[in-house]
Structure 1
Amino acid sequence: MKAVAGRMKRWRNSLRLRLLAGTLVWIVVAVLAAGWGLSSLFNKHVSRQFDAELGTHLDQLAANLVFDEAQTLRLRAPLSDPRLARPLSGLYWQVDRMGAAGEPETVALLRSRSLWDAVLAVPPDALADGEMHVHHVRGPNDEPLRMIEQVLRPAEYPDQALRLIVAATEDLISEPVARFNDLLGFALGALSLGLIGAVVVQVRTAWMPLERLREGLAQVHDGRNAAIEGRFPSEIQPLVDEFNGVLARNAEIVVRARTQAGNLAHAIKTPLAVLANAANRDDSALARVVVEQVALAQLQVDHHLARARAAAAVQIPGQRTAIRPVMEALVRVMERVHVERGVQITVGDFPETTAFRGETQDLQEMLGNLLDNAYKWASSRVDVKVAARNGDLVVTVEDDGRGLDASVREIVLERGVRTDEQRPGSGLGLAIVRDLALLYGGDIALDASPRGGLRASLRLPRA
């Protein structure tokens, strides 16, 4: 269900799919309407032509009816259509004498040979002289017939009313219409496929610049390019130029901000260093307080300088740092710094191409603090693993020390919080790691390690 919901959401959010769907629906509706209209027009045309042909036979029948000397009704000459002489051919004529009440006689006066021994059952209908009606009746083989009838009064016997009937099977209408509909369906189907293919090609062609723009943005986001490269259509090029201009101005502002932050930090560090040197020459209680507070102030300056540097680096596209060289250098430093503790470190294997999308100094700061914290609390072993998950980079550092209670794991991530005042440190290490990770869109999580100690999982953007 989640997969279906995800596909439906992508469908609703896809402009290309909505454009294609709307165009395809319009093509289908237009083709169906055109097919229905053409089929209806052809059906009416065939019906009118059919009725006209029946009318021609009816006129020919009326013109050939004569009374002989014995006042017997007969045909002066056979009708021209040979189907009228072929039994059960599907084309028939019949002549009835009308009674005084307007009802036909029970026996037809004349009929075509095509009727053989059958008689057309004509529905009762009151007709004025010369008026023509159309009916649908059943034929000799119970076939559906389309029939026209007309009442005429011969000039020789004006008191006698004759009902002239001509009928033909409706297959003569349905069969041409069916053939036409088949041909029309094939033609409209081919036209629809051609239109759909043209629409798909047009949409794909129109979308290619947008795909190139998306790829250019992805390259900027992944750190492969500092700006969107290439030429685009005149409708899109102004957008690309504006975006590249924003990137350039943003990089300039970031560089200026980093320079100012660095200048401010060095300006503050100089008087702090002077105060620390002066206080170190004195052994009074006040001097010790000054030394302690100056050291704390220097840590705070370093912390905020690192935040400012990372915040600026995040805004600059194209940053990329390989993990392996940084990790190997930090491991060598930690082994020398904590050589007296005898802690063994193991780094799991990971691809050489694994890289962090950010500055090298920030990565060193985060990994260095995690490794230093693990070395301080480990009993004998530290394990490091690097893995890629869903476009992110996850660095896991575990130790086999005494670990942390679940109630204090979130607290130690706060700036300046320490769980053991006997161990060296300022309480800023994990706080710096979390601050830098958040600035890059990542995070850090603390939980229990299977070895009994603490496991820190650092999630960062992967290049």
Structure 2
Amino acid sequence: MSSSWQRSLRLRLLAGTLAWILATLAVAGWGLAELFHRHLERQFHAELSTHLDQLTAALVTDDVPHLAVALSDPRFARPYSGLYWQIDRLPDGASAETGSLRSRSLWDTTLAVPDDAPPDGEIHIHRIVGPQGHPAHAVERVIRPSEAPAVAWRLIVSADSALLQAPLAAFNAPLGGALLLLGSGLVAAAIVQVLIGLRPLAALRQALAQVREGRSAAIAGRFPAELQPLVDEFNAALAANAEVVSRARTQAGNLAHAVKTPLAVLANAAADEHNPFGELVREQVATARTQVDHHLARARAAAAVRTRGLRTPLRPAVDGLLRVMAKVHGDRRLHLELKECPADAAFRGETQDLQEMLGNLLDNACKWAHSQVCTRITTDAGQLHILIDDDGPGLPEDIREAVFARGVRADERAPGSGLGLSIVRDLAQLYGGDVALEHSPQGGLRVILRLPAA
């Protein structure tokens, strides 16, 4: 699983984006909830302070302390409503009289606040345990009436924390839903962005596949600014490689031409000499010509293998060779047939090299066939399988591999230099293929040539 994440740029981008989205939404959700909680808490304390001001204004400290008017909020009159007030008498030098006055909502309980009474007139805020054990917030103030400054009065207003938590919970639920909806939209946008952003890479891969398969000599099309320099450099490398290969092939051709010219002069000079020396010269000139052709074909094939964009359709090449062989071996009236060949079958290499290999194999088959030569072409796993069957005498299994050696012929009486099959194998192996010999269903020899498909 980890290797898949490391190999996939798409997964890595998505994973990083999704992790960042989730972290951002989590922080945003916590921050919004915390800000709203603080806002509610300030409002909550401000409301308690308002009730405390009303309580202060309504307190009358005559012989019998009492409230001149009832507080406006009806919850103070409903037992255990969650909103309470209490007035404690704090005479100097005497113990406090807790609950001297209290709201009906406290019923038979009192509010227990810390003993650290605030300075006169200041407001303190506490978190306490309210009636019935519920957590509560309380605000308190200490006042000293001017008519009796020796006695202090502590005024307390308290409310259950549930009154604060209820609106917070009511806010958090839709906030979570909104963040979830936002997160889903951001995730969908990230997926679409990654898919669209990486689409040029898929197009680049297809363009490279066309170059590899020989459908194109260079990467075609325009790509984003981030990829175009890479494409340009790759195309420049392909062009430079093709130029080097072309120059090497030209030099090989020039060398072959330079060698063939004196060989032709020697052959012409020896043609008039009907003696052992002339025969020796003619034989050696023919061998030299064959060797030059062989090494020229190898050099050409080695250069072609390094060249991308090569593509040679099979059917036209085979049809042309069969027509040539029908004329070369016309006196024997052989039946030459291409029985099977996919319409899109193509060789990833030079046309001349394909003709060199198939020409040698078809010529050998025609030399040994009694009446017919049959060719079949199939494709499998990116390879071409070319089968050439004849109805000749065949070849014993113990010498089938030996005939691929340079200069070896199955029958010394047959014309030829013994280099045909050696050249075919060398060329096929240069292209990453091979050639093998088997018994043919027609009674003769079957040659199987495997080459890379385009």
Structure 1 and Structure 2 fold alike (TM over 0.5): yes
Q: For residue 168 of structure 1, what is the aligned residue in structure 2?
A: 159
Q: Do the aligned partners of 2:113 and 2:128 also contact (CA within 8 Å) in 1?
A: no
Q: CA deviation at 1:305?
A: 1.6
Q: For residue 416 of structure 1, what is the aligned residue in structure 2?
A: 406
What SS is found at the alignment partner of 2:397?
coil
Equivalent in 60, 63, 66 of residue 74 of structure 1: 66
Q: CA deviation at 1:144?
A: 3.7
Q: Do the aligned partners of 1:446 and 1:456 also contact (CA within 8 Å) in 2?
A: yes
Q: For residue 313 of structure 2, what is the aligned residue in structure 1?
A: 322
Q: Do the aligned partners of 2:5 and 2:12 also contact (CA within 8 Å) in 1?
A: no
Q: CA deviation at 1:291?
A: 4.2
Q: CA deviation at 1:168?
A: 1.9
Q: CA deviation at 1:352?
A: 0.9
What pairs up with 1:9-408 in 2 under 5 angstroms?
10-11=7-8, 14=9, 17-69=11-63, 72-96=64-88, 108-115=99-106, 117-120=107-110, 122=112, 125-130=115-120, 132-140=124-132, 143-150=134-141, 162-196=153-187, 212-230=203-221, 247=238, 251-279=242-270, 289-314=280-305, 318-330=309-321, 349-370=340-361, 386-390=377-381, 392-397=382-387, 401-403=395-397
Task: Give, in whole Å, the separation in 2 of the partners of 1:380 and 1:34.
Answer: 87
Task: Give, in whole Å, the separation in 1 of the partners of 2:278 and 2:247.
Answer: 38
Unaligned runs of 5+ in 1: none
Q: CA deviation at 1:238?
A: 6.0
Q: CA deviation at 1:91?
A: 1.8
C-alpha RMSD over aligned residues: 4.7
Task: Give, in whole Å, the separation in 1 of the partners of 2:447 and 2:355.
Answer: 19
Task: Give, in whole Å, the separation in 2 of the partners of 1:145 and 1:355.
Answer: 87
Letter of the 1:171 partner, please give it: A
Q: Normalising by the residue count of structure 1, what TM-score does the alignment of the two structures yield?
A: 0.74
Moved more, 326-335 or 379-388: 379-388
Q: 1:61 to 1:327 in 2, by over 3 A?
A: same
Q: 1:43 to 1:366 in 2, by over 3 A?
A: farther
Q: 1:83 to 1:121 in 2, by over 3 A?
A: closer
What SS is found at the alignment partner of 1:145?
strand
Equivalenced residue count is: 445
Moved more, 236-245 or 313-322: 236-245
What SS is found at the alignment partner of 2:344?
coil
Describe the superposition over 1:252-271 as per-residue Cα deviations: whole angstroms up to 9, x where unpaired. 55444433322321221232
Q: 1:266 to 1:108 in 2, by over 3 A?
A: same
Q: CA deviation at 1:208?
A: 5.6
Task: Give, in whole Å, the separation in 1 of the partners of 2:88 and 2:129.
Answer: 16
Q: Normalising by the residue count of structure 2, what TM-score does the alignment of the two structures yield?
A: 0.75
Match status 1:461 vs 2:449: no
Q: Do the aligned partners of 2:91 and 2:150 also contact (CA within 8 Å) in 1?
A: no
Moved more, 301-310 or 453-462: 453-462
Letter of the 2:384 partner, please give it: V
What SS is found at the alignment partner of 1:95?
strand
Describe the superposition over 1:48-96 as per-residue Cα deviations: whole angstroms up to 9, x where unpaired. 2222222322333233233342xx3322221122222233332222334
Describe the superposition over 1:219-248 as per-residue Cα deviations: whole angstroms up to 9, x where unpaired. 444444444445556666666566555555
Task: Give, in whole Å, the separation in 2 of the partners of 1:206 and 1:372.
Answer: 56
Task: Give, in whole Å, the separation in 2 of the partners of 1:97 and 1:269.
Answer: 131
Moved more, 196-205 or 374-383: 374-383
Task: Give, in whole Å, the separation in 2 of the partners of 1:104 and 1:348.
Answer: 118
Q: Do the aligned partners of 1:396 and 1:457 also contact (CA within 8 Å) in 2?
A: yes
Q: Do the aligned partners of 2:127 and 2:137 also contact (CA within 8 Å) in 1?
A: yes
Describe the superposition over 1:348-404 as per-residue Cα deviations: whole angstroms up to 9, x where unpaired. 6442122223332222223344556677899999886544344x2331537775436
Task: Give, in whole Å, the separation in 1 of the partners of 2:322 and 2:188.
Answer: 60
What SS is found at the alignment partner of 1:78?
coil
Moved more, 328-337 or 186-195: 328-337
Q: For residue 443 of structure 1, what is the aligned residue in structure 2?
A: 433
Describe the superposition over 1:158-216 as per-residue Cα deviations: whole angstroms up to 9, x where unpaired. 56565543222323332332333344344444544555555556556655655555544
Unaligned runs of 5+ in 2: none
Percent of paired sites with the same residue:
51
